[in-house]
Amino acid sequence: MFEELIRGWDGEHVVVRFDEPTGAWMLVGIHSTVLGPAVGGTRMKVYRSLDEGLADVLRLSQAMTMKQAAAGLDLGGGKAVLAVPAVPSPGSGLRRELMLRYGDLVESLGGTYITAADMNTAEADLDIVGERTDHVLGRSIGCGGSGSSAGATATGVFHGIGAGARHALGSADLSGVHVLVQGVGAVGGRLAELLRDAGARLSLADLDDARASKVASNLGVEPMPAHRALDAPCDIFAPCATGGVLSAESIPLLRCRVVAGAANNQLATPWDADRLDARGILYAPDYVINAGGVIHLVGYERLGWGAAQVAARLSSIGQTLSELFDESEREGITTAAAADRLARDRIAAAR
């Protein structure tokens, strides 16, 4: 399986290291450096097998290539996985040692891969990684980074929702538009605030009941049970929790006009884009709408952009989506296919 996964992957470089003291496997997938150094976060997770961790890193690194290209950034795509026997607790010595050795690995790649945060890794981890390498984005402001990118991701998604509303509902004005946010964590919680400020009618769902209640009460709405998020009626469904949420099983249940949210890898399979299309549901391709995080990190930490430039690039996510929606309609292709073409054309032009 391991061999097949690598043979079947169209990326450039896979690095595998076993970290004996923690029993962790460190996997780095450098999918493409055609447009620039490969950028992507580090996911720390307990996998059922090493194959599963490898499959994740290969798939996620490819998605980062597409994200950077579609966002018009001169960066390639990469991703890292720390496949751990158990996630070491934040602040523990074991975690610190793991992050230092991981920093050494990133440094050894000579800047072909620049890391950042992903599931189960955060600013504090990147501060430690940064003790060993400069090829890291998203350190705390005190350690020379630009901090969490979740707010920027939410702002980009908000612009994308506006574009979706304009195309499917006839106006980008969100007042009175019913938006269901699934997952009100760092991104979904901030997105809900932006939507409330724009006058949208909100439904909020989270597996974590305490978090759902807290965010909902701050915004003056009732949380809904997490299991109802897929089949509850709304105008716009914003998945901001986990990947794989749009599938052969879930798509028939949806009662919305637009899907536009932050989660990575929303489509369980590529055919799910056709399933959404067949149901007349407008889909904002995930890697286009959720590029705000990388725009924030790279803009502030590598390109010397100020707040106004970052804000302009976040707003351009809405414009890019509007163009993709028009193109998909004009040419009778799915919005996902239109996004893939945009990204691939940019990479092909740079070759």
Q: Which is nearer to ligand NAI, 82 or 187 (CB)?
A: 187
Q: In what order do the strands lie in the sheet with 223-224?
A: 223-224, 201-205, 178-182, 236-239, 258-259, 282-283
Which residue numbers are catalytic? Answer: 79
State which of residues 62, 121, 133, 153 lies at the interface with ligand NAI (CB under 6 A): 153
Distance in Å, CB of 147 to ligand NAI, minimum: 11
In the numeric block, which tokens belong to residue 195?
């939507």
Q: Which is nearer to ligand NAI, 101 or 320 (CB)?
A: 320
Distance in Å, CB of 257 to ligand NAI, minimum: 21
Distance in Å, CB of 43 to ligand NAI, minimum: 9
Q: Is 150 in the site for ligand NAI (CB under 6 A)?
A: yes
The beta strands (E) that lie in the chain are given as 13-19, 24-32, 38-45, 76-83, 113-117, 178-182, 201-205, 223-224, 236-239, 258-259, 282-283
Of 195-203, 238-246, 313-321, 333-341, the window that binds ligand NAI (rule: CB under 6 A) is 238-246
C-alpha to C-alpha distance for 276 and 272, rounded to whole angstroms: 6
Within residues 195-234, the interface with ligand NAI by CB under 6 A covers: 205-208, 211, 226, 229
Tell me which amino acid residue 180 is. Answer: L
Task: Answer whether 83's CB lies under 8 Å from 27's CB.
Answer: yes
State which of residues 32, 65, 290, 334 lies at the interface with ligand NAI (CB under 6 A): 290
Q: Is 284 in the site for ligand NAI (CB under 6 A)?
A: no
Within residues 304-333, the interface with ligand NAI by CB under 6 A covers: none
DSSP code string of 84-107: -SSPPPTT-HHHHHHHHHHHHHHH
C-alpha to C-alpha distance for 91 and 119, rounded to whole angstroms: 16
Q: Is 187 in the site for ligand NAI (CB under 6 A)?
A: yes
Q: Which is nearer to ligand NAI, 98 or 240 (CB)?
A: 240
Q: Which is nearer to ligand NAI, 59 or 211 (CB)?
A: 211
Q: Which is nearer to ligand NAI, 101 or 190 (CB)?
A: 190
Q: Is 183 in the site for ligand NAI (CB under 6 A)?
A: yes
Of 48-56, 79-87, 149-157, 336-344, the window that binds ligand NAI (rule: CB under 6 A) is 149-157
Which of the 8 DSSP states describes residue 290? T
Distance in Å, CB of 153 to ligand NAI, minimum: 4
Q: Is 149 in the site for ligand NAI (CB under 6 A)?
A: yes
C-alpha to C-alpha distance for 284 and 318, rounded to whole angstroms: 10
Q: Which is nearer to ligand NAI, 132 or 297 (CB)?
A: 297
C-alpha to C-alpha distance for 256 and 233, rounded to whole angstroms: 6
Q: Which is nearer to ligand NAI, 16 or 194 (CB)?
A: 194
Residues contacting residue 97 through CB under 8 Å, at least 6 positions apart: 21, 22
Binding mask 240-269 for ligand NAI (x = CB under 6 A): xxxx------------------xxx-----
Q: Is 238 in the site for ligand NAI (CB under 6 A)?
A: no
Cα angle 136, 339, 262 (rounded to 5 degrees) comes to 55
Distance in Å, CB of 177 to ligand NAI, minimum: 21
Distance in Å, CB of 170 to ligand NAI, minimum: 28
Exposed e or buried b per residue across 85-118, where buried means at least 16 C-beta atoms within 10 angstroms of its C-beta = eeebeeeeeebbebbebbbebbeebeebbbbbbb
Distance in Å, CB of 104 to ligand NAI, minimum: 26
| Alpha helical stretches, state H, 234-279 | 271-278
C-alpha to C-alpha distance for 124 and 184, rounded to whole angstroms: 22
Quick one: the chain helix, strand, coil %, rounded to 5? Answer: 45, 15, 35
Name the site residues for ligand NAI (rule: CB under 6 A).
149-150, 153, 182-188, 205-208, 211, 226, 229, 240-243, 262-264, 290, 293
